[in-house]
Amino acid sequence: MANVFTVRSKQERDKLQEAAKPLVRNELGPLGDAEVEWFCGNLGLSRRYFASVGPDDVAKHTMLLFAAKFRARVAGHKFGLDISDEGRDRAIYICPSKDTTDPKVAQESASAEVEKRIEAIYLDEAWHATQTPHNAGQSAEASKADQIQAQGGSEVPCEGYVVEAFRSSGEVARTVPIRLRLFVVQRPNYPDAAGESGIASLACSQFLNFISPKFFPEYETLLARAATSNGCVVSTSMPAEEDWSEHSMHNEEQDIVVRVAHKRGTTHSFYSSASQLYRMHGFRSRVKAIWPFRNAIDIQTVWLSPMEPISYKELQKRVESVKLHLTLSYILPRTPFTSLVANRQLGASEHAYAYCALVYAHHFLTLRPNETDSAAPYKATLFPEIDTSSHQTSGRIKMRLRQNMLTEPRLAEAVLKYPEIVSKLYSAFEELHAPWTPVGDRFNPKTEENLAKMIVRQVPNEINQRVLLCFLTFNKWILKTNFFKEDRNVLAFRLDPRVMDNSEYPETPYGIFLVCGSVFRGFHIRFRDVARGGIRLIKSANEQAYANNVATLLEENYALAMTQQQKNKDIPEGGSKGTILLAPDHQDKGHVAFDQYIDGILDVLLPDKRMKDYLGEPEILFFGPDENTADKMDRAAQRAKQRGYALWKASTTGKSIAMGGIPHDTYGMTTRSVHQYVLGFYRQLELQESTIKKFQTGGPDGDLGSNEILISHDKTLTIVDGSGVLHDPEGLNREELQRLATSRQMACHFNQKMLSPAGFFVDVRDVDRTLPDGSLVQSGLQFRNGFHLDPRAAADLFVPCGGRPESINVSNVHQLFSAKGEPRFKIIVEGANLFLTQGARHKLEAAGVHLVKDASANKGGVTSSSLEVLTALSLADEEFKQLMTAPTGTPPDSMPAFYRSYVTEVQARIEENARMEFECLWSEWKKLGGNVPMSNLTDILSAKINALNDRIQQSTLWDDVALRSIVFTKYVPKTLLDHIGMEKLQQRVPESYLRSIFGCYLAAQYIYSYGPSASEFDFFDFITRFRSVSPAKL
What one-character DSSP code corresponds to residue 583?
-
Whole-angstrom Cα distance, residue 62 to residue 332? Answer: 40
With b for 16 or more beta-carbon neighbours within 10 A and e for fewer, the 519-533 pattern comes to: bbbbbbbbbbbbbbb
Angle of helix 974-988 versus helix 877-884 axis, rounded to 10? 160
Nearest residue to 399 (alpha-carbon basis) of 569, 554, 179 = 554
**SS3 at position 565:** helix
- The angle subtended at Cα 829 by Cα 827 and Cα 835, nearest 5°, is 115
Whole-angstrom Cα distance, residue 601 to residue 516? Answer: 11
Angle of helix 543-567 versus helix 934-953 axis, rounded to 10? 60
Whole-angstrom Cα distance, residue 334 to residue 400? Answer: 25
Nearest residue to 667 (alpha-carbon basis) of 899, 978, 871 = 899
Which residues are within 8 A (CB) of 318 and not within 5 positions of it... i.e. 6 or more apart?
Answer: 281, 282, 283, 306, 310
Using an 8 Å Cβ cutoff, are 568 and 582 in contact?
Answer: no
Amino acid at 119: E
The DSSP result for 753-791, as a single string, is GGS-TT-EEEETT-EEEEPTTS-EEEEHHHHHHHGGGST
Amino acid at 111: S
Whole-angstrom Cα distance, residue 433 to residue 413? Answer: 26
What one-character DSSP code corresponds to residue 629?
T
Angle of helix 445-458 versus helix 419-433 axis, rounded to 10? 170
Q: Which of 569, 577, 612, 843 is catalytic?
A: 577
Residue 391 to residues 196, 342, 384, 500: CA-CA distances in angstroms? 63, 42, 16, 12
Whole-angstrom Cα distance, residue 312 to residue 545? Answer: 52
Using an 8 Å Cβ cutoff, are 248 and 239 in contact?
Answer: yes
Instruction: Spell out the alpha helix ranges (H) of 29-136.
Output: 31-37, 47-50, 55-75, 103-107, 110-118
Sheet holding 283-292, edge to edge: 82-86, 90-96, 180-186, 162-167, 283-292, 297-306, 256-263, 233-237
Residue 749 to residues 393, 679, 778: CA-CA distances in angstroms? 41, 29, 22
Q: What is the 3-state secondary structure (H, E, C) of 168-219?
A: CCCCCECCECCCEEEEEEECCCCCCCCCCCHHHHCCCHHHHHHECHHHHHHH
Using an 8 Å Cβ cutoff, are 958 and 998 in contact?
Answer: yes
What one-character DSSP code corresponds to residue 121?
I
Using an 8 Å Cβ cutoff, are 94 and 113 in contact?
Answer: no
Cα 968 to chain centroid, rounded: 37
Residue 156 to residues 122, 142, 145, 298: CA-CA distances in angstroms? 7, 12, 8, 15
Nearest residue to 702 (alpha-carbon basis) of 557, 832, 872 = 832
Query: Can 577 be counted among the known catalytic residues?
Result: yes
Count of other CB atoms within 10 angstroms of residue 591: 17
What are the phi and psi torsion angles at 135 (to 5°)?
-65, 135
Whole-angstrom Cα distance, residue 517 to residue 496? Answer: 21
Active site residues: 577
